[in-house]
Structure formats: structure tokens, C-alpha cells
């Protein structure tokens, strides 16, 4: 019994150091957070945007290499125009505030279909990407007008326009034409707000990801909650279709 206790203690200490390579977060629950406080939904999005900055900085600090956050989905255009405009304005303010990038060593990239976005936002996105291109810390992807199915459709269109034949179609050929080409697949997907679905997020890339769900609403999500999630991740036994590895 004593030996067993020691074994588990030792094993836990070792496992808590296993960090995911790529965390993906569905930043959900802004509206409900605002409703609980009798505030407009816009207040929820503003609070959610603060949480986003805090969590991105924290991920960079603890040495996470890739973080992908879901900011606006291809389905979110269904919302009232005033709410869509509000979300786009929050993004504008974030991108105009150069302090968000200076000294952070965070590399920013946008994934998703940019075509229908306002011209000034597209320019701000390109500038933010160019300004942070040499950063060596966290690689932060912001999924904007992103949909997993839409991403696969784009990849297939590229494959056809490049003239690939059936023999060239491999999993790698598809991965190489997704917005996340060249990046490791997310190994840890976090969804707060009490929903248990992917909502069209990274559906190809998440094939072998671990999931972590919580009732916390995104504006309330703290670095301590991420620590808890990471500690759970480090105890998961990832088999990838193989057999148990009894280290
Ligand atoms: C997530 O919060 C933000 C976006 C989808 C842009 P929601 O706005 O979906 O918040 P709930 O789900 O209504 O609480
Ligand atoms: C997913 O949240 C999209 C983002 C967080 C940007 P939604 O609130 O849009 O997802 P559903 O509608 O609950 O599936
Ligand atoms: Mg939601």
C-alpha cells in the first residue's frame, strides 16, 4: 500500500509537467455572463475580450507553443447585425491597440475566410500579422469567420485548382491546405459555458484531441482554471488507437 501511494505520487509529479502543444479554446458564454448581470450582450463580449488577452498572455508565459481561439464562426452571421458589428468593433479596437503586441513576443495569425470582412479590418489583420511575424513565443491563431466545414471546402477547392489527381490525395495533402497548415493539430480543446459540442471548430484537426468542458462562462475564466484543465490534461492517457502504455 505504502509503495503504491509513493508510485502514484511520483507519477503525478512527472505527469503535471506534460503540457499540450496546441490548445484550442471555444470562447463561449459571453451572452449568458451579461444576462446574469442584467447587462447588454455587448458587455459580455467586452468582458470576454479581456479574458482572451489575459489567457493568451498566460499561455505565452507558461510556454504553450500554439493557442487557437474561436472568436467568430461562419454561423455567427445569423446574429442581429448590431451584435455582429459590436464583435467586429471589439476586434478593431484590439488590433488598433498596438500595446497588445509590443513586447509580448506573441505571433498573431488569423484563420478563417476573410473575404466578407470589412476592408479596414482586413488591413489591420494583415498589419498585426506582419508586425508580429518574427515573434518566437506563443503562436496565437484567432479564428474569425471560421468554420471547420468551410475550411475543408476551401482545401478541396485548392486541391482541384492545383490539378492534384486521386493518387495525390492523402491526409497530409488535405492538412497542408487547411488554414492551420504547418502547425501541429490541437491536442487539447477547451469549451467553457456548459455546452458539449464543437460548433464546427477545427473538425479535421481535432480527430485525436483531448476535450475539457466546464460550466464557467468565458468572461469568468481565469488562469487558475486553465491550470486545472492543464493538470487534467497531463493525467489523460492518450493511446491514439494503440494499447495502454504502462510507464
Ligand atoms: C461567445 O459567446 C462569443 C461569440 C460567439 C462571438 P456567446 O455570445 O455565444 O455567448 P452565449 O453562448 O450567448 O452565452
Ligand atoms: C461557438 O459559439 C463560436 C464562438 C465561440 C465564436 P456559439 O455560441 O456560436 O455556438 P453554439 O451556437 O452554441 O453552437
Ligand atoms: Mg454561445
Tell me: the pLDDT tens digits for 166-175? 999 999 999 9
CA of 35 to the centre of ligand 3 (A): 12
Confidence of residue 5 (pLDDT cuts 50, 70, 90): very low
**Helix (H) / strand (E) containing 150:** helix 148-161
How distant is the alpha carbon of residue 65 from its chain centre?
A: 12
CA of 64 to the centre of ligand 3 (A): 25
Residue 228 has pLDDT above 80, yes or no: yes
Q: What is the pLDDT of residues 137-146, one digit of tens each?
A: 999 999 999 9
Residue 13 has pLDDT above 60, yes or no: no
Instruction: Write down the number of H helices and E strands in the chain.
Output: 8, 6
Query: Which ligand 2 atom is at minimum distance from the Cα of 75?
Result: 9
Q: Are the CB atoms for 75 and 143 separated by under 8 Å?
A: no
Average pLDDT over residues 32-53: 98
Taking each helix axis as running N to C, give the angle between helix 223-234 and helix 41-62, from 0 to 180 degrees, rounded to the nearest 10.
50
Q: Is 76 assigned a catalytic role? A: yes
Average pLDDT over residues 229-243: 92
CATH superfamily of 19-149+186-234: Decaprenyl diphosphate synthase-like (3.40.1180.10)
CA of 22 to the centre of ligand 1 (A): 23
Instruction: Give me the percent of the chain exceeding a pLDDT of 70.
Output: 92
What per-residue confidence (pLDDT) applies to 175?
98
What per-residue confidence (pLDDT) applies to 130?
95
Average pLDDT over residues 212-226: 98
With the most atoms of ligand 2 within 8 angstroms of its CB, the residue from 32, 90, 199 to mutate is 199
Instruction: Give me the percent of the chain exceeding a pLDDT of 90.
Output: 87
Cell of 246: 504502462
Confidence of residue 2 (pLDDT cuts 50, 70, 90): very low
> CA-CA distance, 167 to 213, in Å (whole number)?
39
Residue 245 has pLDDT above 70, yes or no: no
Query: Which ligand 2 atom is at minimum distance from the Cα of 76?
Result: 9
Residue 10 has pLDDT above 80, yes or no: no
Query: Which ligand 2 atom is at minimum distance from the Cα of 143?
Result: 6
Confidence of residue 71 (pLDDT cuts 50, 70, 90): very high
Q: What is the pLDDT of residues 189-198, one digit of tens each?
A: 999 999 999 9
What per-residue confidence (pLDDT) applies to 58?
98
pTM for this model (two decimals): 0.92
Confidence of residue 1 (pLDDT cuts 50, 70, 90): very low
Q: Are the CB atoms for 26 and 199 separated by under 8 Å?
A: yes
Confidence of residue 244 (pLDDT cuts 50, 70, 90): confident
Residue 54 has pLDDT above 70, yes or no: yes
Amino acid at each position: 500500500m505504502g509503495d503504491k501511494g509513493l508510485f502514484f505520487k511520483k507519477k503525478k509529479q512527472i505527469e503535471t509537467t506534460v503540457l499540450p502543444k496546441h490548445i484550442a479554446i471555444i470562447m463561449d458564454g459571453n451572452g449568458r455572463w451579461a444576462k446574469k448581470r442584467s447587462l447588454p450582450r455587448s458587455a459580455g463580449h467586452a468582458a470576454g475580450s479581456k479574458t482572451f488577452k489575459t489567457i493568451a498572455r498566460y499561455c505565452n508565459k507558461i510556454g504553450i507553443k500554439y493557442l487557437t481561439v474561436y472568436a467568430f464562426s461562419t454561423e455567427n452571421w445569423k446574429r442581429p447585425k448590431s451584435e455582429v458589428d459590436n464583435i467586429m468593433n471589439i476586434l478593431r479596437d484590439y488590433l488598433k491597440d498596438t500595446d497588445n503586441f509590443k513586447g509580448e513576443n506573441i505571433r498573431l495569425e488569423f484563420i478563417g475566410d476573410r473575404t466578407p470582412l470589412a476592408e479596414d479590418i482586413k488591413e489591420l489583420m494583415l498589419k498585426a500579422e506582419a508586425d508580429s511575424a518574427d515573434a518566437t513565443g506563443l503562436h496565437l491563431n484567432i479564428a474569425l469567420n471560421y468554420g471547420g466545414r468551410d475550411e475543408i471546402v476551401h482545401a478541396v477547392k485548392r486541391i482541384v485548382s492545383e490539378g492534384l489527381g486521386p493518387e495525390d490525395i492523402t491526409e497530409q495533402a488535405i492538412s497542408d491546405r487547411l488554414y492551420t497548415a504547418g502547425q501541429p493539430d490541437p491536442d487539447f480543446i477547451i469549451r467553457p459555458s456548459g455546452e458539449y459540442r464543437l460548433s464546427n471548430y477545427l473538425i479535421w484537426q481535432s480527430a485525436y484531441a483531448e476535450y475539457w468542458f466546464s460550466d464557467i462562462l468565458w468572461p469568468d475564466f481565469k488562469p487558475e482554471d486553465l491550470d486545472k484543465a492543464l493538470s487534467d490534461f497531463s493525467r489523460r492517457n492518450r493511446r491514439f488507437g494503440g494499447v495502454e502504455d504502462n510507464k
